[in-house]
Chain A
């Protein structure tokens, strides 16, 4: 086995450990399937206003002028996401031919774009979704090109509210409508953003905290470890959902607050993982050699030890992302999530109508989306784990 690996890696180009793990992971069907679904969700999240919007993408008014109401109604976040996606693609394509510090340029342009769009992108405040439908009906416009799903997530069809409520799936509304008369598919697509953001940001906060605290505990051991482990015990005793409910009750429904709380309570698992890895690693010869070279602590910890100990943490982080999505869904399902922004858990909440009525499309589609996303992250995590430790996989099959 090891001999096999040896000859393989010797014959190939010099490959780093990370590259080998990545290649091995990508070779597994679980990772591919999981990443495919995450890719679909990410695509929907980025292009949501282009895929689902009540504003026509192109509109030719009666006097023959072409306009794009969709573009005019983009928010600052929409603009940042769309522009950065294309810009990243362009940077990466150019990188194939020319070597340049693309990451620095990327970070810089993200900063510039954020500042610019926050100060200059001002979508109209009062939005009348029915406006363009009325224009078309009255013949004031010659031509209008709508998005694939021609409804915005908060478009409640003011002109005919009563008849639009809780329609079951049909040709016009592929996934039916909600209790307020919004198109479910449009809301599903726009909810991808929250699902992705909450998972990545909450886990990101938890990772940074966990790796730093766990790394220091493992490296210094002794009294630092003793105090750190007590801190871990204190934090692991906090009931996350209860804390979330309490905070939402006091400080209102704020997505960022939810992310921060999930991050602040989720780091303990990573800290314990990293601590165990670092306790093992600090005895390793190459760490001793790095210290003996006179490298500063920062470099020893984060350049030499962390890359060798991070892989198991990444595995648990991919499960952590799934957990964060579930937590947000739980909160929204309990009716404590966001109000205006669509989220899968919140839609699930509306499945039960008054008087025990049940609207199946409100349960199936968001439920399936939550299930598939959590499943996808778990698949990726599992493939990553198998790639890092082939023995574990063998043992689990016995």
Chain B
């Protein structure tokens, strides 16, 4: 069995706000294997972005605070290191070089005062031992790789002269210029229109196959996950509530929240008059309900069960398919060790 590239263990991140401590992430377990795409889905505020930001120690501290947990990073052949205990200096050599990140808003993710070329070059010159002329060649190749025509002259343009889709391509080129092993894509297509969205996702997939890198794809769009991810983690209120391969989770969702999400999505070829919704609102992360954070909105909740008293652990309900619900419907296989969630088949 191969080692996971990245393994998040029981991560908890708190934010100190004037109105009290907000538990943005509260015990997340995730692992990503080489060459795999992990889709992380959930509503806004469920902690998916914070989990990704924690991986690069990018959560602003203060007000943020890494409460507990470990993020093991194992580059090829080396013993895993805990990214949360790395110094700022060590993190600088990991950021951009081993783990790169692209953000949601391409309109604001590029610095308006520098040309596209200057920004890409800075990252390349920082991480690779190359001269300026060579760095320009790398930048041009990187831009061509993401499908930007006339790359050499595009180096001299300012971000405001590019469209949203172009800027996101530039961001991807910048992130991939140093050949990272893991790409954290925080809602990379949310701000783009649908055709551009499809192009960007297609591009990410091509580049992933070409370079064999792993992607953590954060999104709230189940369609995007279905098309692009190998493994999916559904998050709710700072926890992973369901985890499994895309096929397993999509074919037989185990958690009532996941089922609710699928019910609220129209399907092709299925006649429906009105979609079912999940009643209620996302709980206030500063004031979570007792027990299972989903129980006040849960359709399956019965008064007699322990839902309101204790938080359900992530249990293996089917082989390699986990869900955190007291109403586990699958065969009870006993608790697998959460610290080592084995790889789900990546051959989709």
Q: Assuming the A-B contacts A293-B174, A294-B127, A295-B122, are A286 and B95 also in contact, with contact meaning beta carbons closer than 8 angstroms in the complex?
A: no
Interface pair B92/A295, CB less than 8 Å apart: yes
**For the complex, is A17 an interface residue (Cβ under 8 Å from B)?**
yes
**For the complex, is A76 an interface residue (Cβ under 8 Å from B)?**
no
Interface pair B94/A292, CB less than 8 Å apart: no
A288: B residues at CB distance < 8 A: 58, 103, 109
Interface pair A285/B95, CB less than 8 Å apart: no
Which residue on A lies nearest to B160, using beta carbons?
A9
**For the complex, is B115 an interface residue (Cβ under 8 Å from A)?**
yes
B83: A residues at CB distance < 8 A: none
Q: Assuming the A-B contacts A285-B105, A286-B108, are A292 and B95 also in contact, with contact meaning beta carbons closer than 8 angstroms in the complex?
A: yes
**For the complex, is B62 an interface residue (Cβ under 8 Å from A)?**
yes
Interface pair B158/A295, CB less than 8 Å apart: no
**For the complex, is B93 an interface residue (Cβ under 8 Å from A)?**
yes
Interface pair B112/A17, CB less than 8 Å apart: yes
CA of A104 to CA of B160, assembled, Å: 31
Instruction: Point out the residue from B92, B110, B112, B157 that lies within 8 Å of A294, measured CB to CB.
Output: B92
A6: B residues at CB distance < 8 A: 160
CA of A297 to CA of B126, assembled, Å: 13
Which residues between 158 and 178 of chain B lie within 8 Å of chain A, taking CB atoms? 158, 160-161, 171, 174-175
**Chain B residues with a Cβ closer than 8 Å to the other chain, count:** 39
Interface pair A9/B123, CB less than 8 Å apart: no
Q: From residue B184, how far is it (CB to closest CB) to chain A in Å?
A: 8
Interface pair B62/A221, CB less than 8 Å apart: yes
Q: From residue B148, how far is it (CB to closest CB) to chain A in Å?
A: 15
Interface pair B108/A9, CB less than 8 Å apart: no
Interface pair A289/B103, CB less than 8 Å apart: yes
**For the complex, is B113 an interface residue (Cβ under 8 Å from A)?**
yes
B175: A residues at CB distance < 8 A: 293
A14: B residues at CB distance < 8 A: 115, 156-158, 161
**For the complex, is B41 an interface residue (Cβ under 8 Å from A)?**
no
Interface pair B62/A295, CB less than 8 Å apart: no
CA of A274 to CA of B123, assembled, Å: 26
Which residues between 66 and 108 of chain B lie within 8 Å of chain A, taking CB atoms? 88, 91-97, 100-105, 108
Q: From residue B72, how far is it (CB to closest CB) to chain A in Å?
A: 20
Q: Assuming the A-B contacts A294-B96, A295-B92, are A286 and B127 also in contact, with contact meaning beta carbons closer than 8 angstroms in the complex?
A: no
A296: B residues at CB distance < 8 A: 92, 126
CA of A292 to CA of B93, assembled, Å: 10
**For the complex, is A15 an interface residue (Cβ under 8 Å from B)?**
yes
CA of A293 to CA of B122, assembled, Å: 9
A221: B residues at CB distance < 8 A: 60, 62
Interface pair A292/B161, CB less than 8 Å apart: no
Instruction: Point out the residue from A282, A283, A308 that lies within 8 Å of B113, measured CB to CB.
Output: A308
Q: From residue A104, how far is it (CB to closest CB) to chain B in Å?
A: 16
**For the complex, is B111 an interface residue (Cβ under 8 Å from A)?**
yes
**For the complex, is B56 an interface residue (Cβ under 8 Å from A)?**
yes
Q: From residue A68, how far is it (CB to closest CB) to chain B in Å?
A: 48
- Can you list, as one digit per residue, whether each of A281-313 has a CB less than 8 Å from chain B (1) or not (0)? 011111011111111110100011001100000
- Can you list, as one digit per residue, whether each of B123-161 has a CB less than 8 Å from chain A (1) or not (0)? 100110000000000000000000000000000111011
Interface pair A289/B126, CB less than 8 Å apart: no
Q: From residue B293, how far is it (CB to closest CB) to chain A in Å?
A: 27
Q: Assuming the A-B contacts A14-B161, A294-B95, are A285 and B108 also in contact, with contact meaning beta carbons closer than 8 angstroms in the complex?
A: yes
CA of A285 to CA of B175, assembled, Å: 14
Which residue on A lies nearest to B161, using beta carbons?
A10
CA of A17 to CA of B160, assembled, Å: 10
B88: A residues at CB distance < 8 A: 297
CA of A283 to CA of B115, assembled, Å: 21
Output the residue of A14, A221, A293, A295 with the most chain B CB within 10 A.
A293
B91: A residues at CB distance < 8 A: 294
Interface pair B123/A294, CB less than 8 Å apart: yes
Interface pair B105/A293, CB less than 8 Å apart: no
Output the residue of A10, A16, A292, A297 with the most chain B CB within 10 A.
A292
Which residue on B lies nearest to A283, using beta carbons?
B60
CA of A338 to CA of B61, assembled, Å: 50
Interface pair B94/A289, CB less than 8 Å apart: no
Which residue on A lies nearest to B92, using beta carbons?
A294
CA of A308 to CA of B114, assembled, Å: 10
Which residues between 197 and 235 of chain B lie within 8 Å of chain A, taking CB atoms? none
Interface pair A293/B96, CB less than 8 Å apart: yes
Which residue on B lies nearest to A291, using beta carbons?
B58
CA of A329 to CA of B200, assembled, Å: 63
Which residue on A lies nearest to B127, using beta carbons?
A294
**For the complex, is A238 an interface residue (Cβ under 8 Å from B)?**
no
Interface pair B110/A295, CB less than 8 Å apart: no
Interface pair B109/A289, CB less than 8 Å apart: yes
CA of A308 to CA of B111, assembled, Å: 8
Q: From residue A263, how far is it (CB to closest CB) to chain B in Å?
A: 27
A89: B residues at CB distance < 8 A: none
**For the complex, is A18 an interface residue (Cβ under 8 Å from B)?**
yes
Instruction: Point out the residue from B61, B96, B108 that lies within 8 Å of A292, measured CB to CB.
Output: B96
CA of A296 to CA of B95, assembled, Å: 10
CA of A284 to CA of B92, assembled, Å: 19
A17: B residues at CB distance < 8 A: 112-113, 158
CA of A304 to CA of B91, assembled, Å: 19
Q: From residue A23, how far is it (CB to closest CB) to chain B in Å?
A: 14
Q: From residue B63, how far is it (CB to closest CB) to chain A in Å?
A: 8
CA of A304 to CA of B103, assembled, Å: 17
Which residues between 1 and 45 of chain A lie within 8 Å of chain B, taking CB atoms? 6, 9-10, 14-18
B171: A residues at CB distance < 8 A: 289
CA of A308 to CA of B115, assembled, Å: 14
CA of A6 to CA of B158, assembled, Å: 12
CA of A297 to CA of B57, assembled, Å: 14
Which residue on B lies nearest to A310, using beta carbons?
B113
Interface pair A292/B126, CB less than 8 Å apart: no
The 3 A-B pairs with the shortest beta carbon distances in the complex, nearest first, are: A294-B95, A294-B96, A293-B96
Apart from the given pairs A221-B60, A294-B123, 14 other A-B contacts in the complex at a CB distance below 8 Å: A18-B113, A222-B61, A285-B105, A288-B58, A290-B111, A291-B58, A291-B95, A294-B91, A294-B95, A295-B96, A295-B122, A296-B126, A304-B111, A308-B113
A-B CB contact pairs (8 Å), 12 listed: A14-B156, A17-B158, A221-B62, A282-B60, A286-B111, A286-B112, A289-B110, A290-B111, A292-B100, A294-B97, A295-B123, A296-B126
